[in-house]
Amino acid sequence: MTTNDDPRPAPPSEPLDKEALRAKYLAERDKRLRPDGNDQYVEVTGVFAEYVEDPYVDPEPREPVHDEVTVAFVGGGFAGLVTGARLKQAGIDDVRIIEKGGDVGGTWYWNRYPGAQCDTAALIYLPLLEETGHMPTEKYTHAPEILDHCRRIAEHFDLYDQALLSTEVTDLTWEEATSRWVIRTNRGDEVRARFVALGTGPLHRPKLPGIPGIETYAGHSFHTSRWDYDYTGGDPAGAPMEGLADKRVGIIGTGATSVQCIPHLARSCGELYVFQRTPSSIDVRANHPVDPEWFATLEPGWQQEWLTNFTTLQTGGFADEDLVKDGWTDIAQRIRDRVVAEADFTPEGFLRAYHDSDDEKMAEIRARVDAIVDDPATAEALKPWYRQLCKRPCFHDEYLDAYNQPGTHLVDTDGRGVERIDETGVWVDGTHYELDCLIYASGFEVGTDHVRRTGFDLTGRDGVTLSERWADGMQSLHGIHVHGFPNAFFVHPAQGANLISNVPHNLTESATTIAAVVRHALDEDVDEVEASAEAEAAWVAKLEAGGRRFGGQPDCTPGYYNNEGQSAGRRGVLNSAAYPEGPLAFFAYIDEWRRTGDFEGLEMRTRDRA
């Protein structure tokens, strides 16, 4: 079997009355809009700080480190790993990852809940497969294999040797006199670095629902990104959670995380209560093992080919074959094929094709709920009434069936959320649900301040902090370089190729760019590399004029895709801006920019050595 068969759901059974559908979508959104937006959530500080403690590793005591490195990277997730790898490949050996978790892995270090899995096909999602010689075992790999792959990259490229793990950066300051960054940490370290790079991840700081009384709950509780296997039993590979056999367990939230762990909870818990505010859209998963014989036939260079193929199709382009063939390329190709069939290439034509394809897809998704869920009232409550890309689309073949198990109860709150929490449980609509354990699948901070999410600020040239520099929104050249912050690089999709679901593709491209710039600076004896004010302003103006950005629309049901339904103004636009001509064009542009060796837009300065 190859990675190419992904059966789609049955055709829709519901009639498509478009006007009624739009009205229903808006009514469902309106129910959920709240004036407090992002402020509805509780920050994991103070009495809630225990929700972010590392449950997996007890930090080993060690002496503070005082030394200097060529490149320091803050964050040991995919961004740090691929940048470390590209630097090593460029002959830069002196690379230090600083990571607050007890190991590398980032998201995959923290998220070990049962059933955790990536929705993007492993052959494109797992970076550096050819370099490390790894064959993913299944089309959509589970979390333990992804974490192992992170460790494989760190080992393969000797990134552990200098790494500081279980170490949180508290301060990063540019020292003008020496052209060095000074990095301080919560372990008393003071590391000086010629270059720093940051890959702190967009979704890494857990948040809790701001439900009245949440602080009073006296039973056991934890956030899904800090799964307490000591309490539940079982393991990240999905072994039965025997500790829950006689327990009444509640879970708040039904996003992508919850969708994956609920089938496991349903199998293990005495009674499971799922508290739902908004149902996710659940499309077909169709996972299967990767056939080693087929894998062995892939020619060198295959991963880049697959990455390009996926990005081409996901962004509405044409290719002879859909190599990945998954839910993401399906969405895009439906729209594209409709536009072509109707031969209407106007903006209105695209919009109509988008809406028609989406209506059809969402009708399929709702029909699937009816086909799987036995109880009609439960099925009705599990149907999503919004466009598929308004919220993170989910793909699962066991989630809906979990509601057919007698011990699993959906408590739908009709868009209002949980009413209140008390010492012994949860209240919805005047009914009290007594619980032994309450699990928060309430997601991560997205729209909040950069410093609040990372826990530190950068102080650049002339004492200006990054928060000050970005007070009105992100400013950068290519999303990577920021004027006033010499020798610092930012690794994330924003202000680059920001519109693909396969984020590691963005990260690997940025890593290649950073390695090229650092190599050049070292070869040419350059002390300071900095985006010029003009180049940065021109880049930001180009992106702003282009109007492409990641994010849900204001008419979408609220969530982190659309800043909880509130306008984030120009700041929001800049923070999520994307290259106007699309991701493939960005990759081609940046490849050319690197190859010329001119690094146009960067100022390179050498200090007076006299």
Neighbours of 66 (CB within 10 A): 10
Residue 357: which residues within 8 A CB-CB, separation 6 or more? Answer: 331, 334, 335, 338
Residue 365: closest CA among 258, 287, 286, 283: 283
Q: Report the residue number, 255 or 601, with the smaller CB distance to ligand NDP.
A: 255
Q: Site for ligand NDP (CB under 6 A): which residue of 121, 183, 418, 474?
A: 418
Question: Least distance (Å) from ligand NDP to the CB of residue 600?
Answer: 34
Question: Least distance (Å) from ligand NDP to the CB of residue 565?
Answer: 10
CA–CA gap between residue 264 and residue 149 (Å, rounded)? 24
How many residues can be counted in the chain? 610
Q: Report the residue number, 273 or 275, with the smaller CB distance to ligand NDP.
A: 275
CA–CA gap between residue 341 and residue 353 (Å, rounded)? 10
Q: Report the residue number, 27 or 471, with the smaller CB distance to ligand NDP.
A: 27
Of 203-222, binders to ligand NDP (CB under 6 A) are 203, 209, 211
Query: Which residues are bridge partners to 196 per DSSP?
Result: 72, 488
CA–CA gap between residue 550 and residue 559 (Å, rounded)? 13
Stretch that binds ligand NDP, among 77-85, 300-308, 438-446, 521-529 (CB under 6 A): 438-446
CA–CA gap between residue 76 and residue 97 (Å, rounded)? 6
H helix or E strand, kind and range, residue 348 = helix 347-372
Q: Report the residue number, 258 or 513, with the smaller CB distance to ligand NDP.
A: 258
What is the SS3 assignment for 273?
strand
Q: Site for ligand NDP (CB under 6 A): which residue of 119, 283, 322, 536?
A: 119
Neighbours of 143 (CB within 10 A): 24
Q: Does 33 bind ligand NDP (CB under 6 A)?
A: no
Stretch that binds ligand NDP, among 248-256, 331-339, 365-373, 565-573 (CB under 6 A): 248-256
Q: Does 118 bind ligand NDP (CB under 6 A)?
A: yes
Q: Site for ligand NDP (CB under 6 A): which residue of 204, 392, 453, 478?
A: 392
Q: Report the residue number, 432 or 570, with the smaller CB distance to ligand NDP.
A: 432
Q: Does 257 bind ligand NDP (CB under 6 A)?
A: yes
Q: Does 223 bind ligand NDP (CB under 6 A)?
A: no
Q: Report the residue number, 243 or 253, with the smaller CB distance to ligand NDP.
A: 253
Neighbour-count burial of 108, counting CB atoms closer than 10 A to its CB (0-12 exposed, 13-18 middle, 19+ buried): buried
Q: Site for ligand NDP (CB under 6 A): which residue of 252, 362, 379, 540?
A: 252
Could you tell me how many helices (H) and strands (E) the chain has, helices first?
20, 21
Mark residues 535-574: x for contact with ligand NDP by CB under 6 A, - for none: ------------------------xx--------------
Q: Report the residue number, 211 or 241, with the smaller CB distance to ligand NDP.
A: 211
Q: Site for ligand NDP (CB under 6 A): which residue of 78, 109, 222, 275?
A: 275
Ramachandran assignment for 21, one of left (phi > 0), alpha (psi -120 to 50 degrees), beta (any other): alpha
CA–CA gap between residue 311 and residue 207 (Å, rounded)? 31
Query: Which residues are bridge partners to 138 per DSSP?
Result: 289
What is the token pair recorded at 508?
């690997």
Q: Does 417 bind ligand NDP (CB under 6 A)?
A: yes
Mark residues 493-522: x for contact with ligand NDP by CB under 6 A, - for none: ------------------------------
Q: Which residues bind ligand NDP (CB under 6 A)?
A: 32, 117-119, 203, 209, 211, 252-258, 260, 275, 277-278, 392, 417-418, 441-444, 559-560
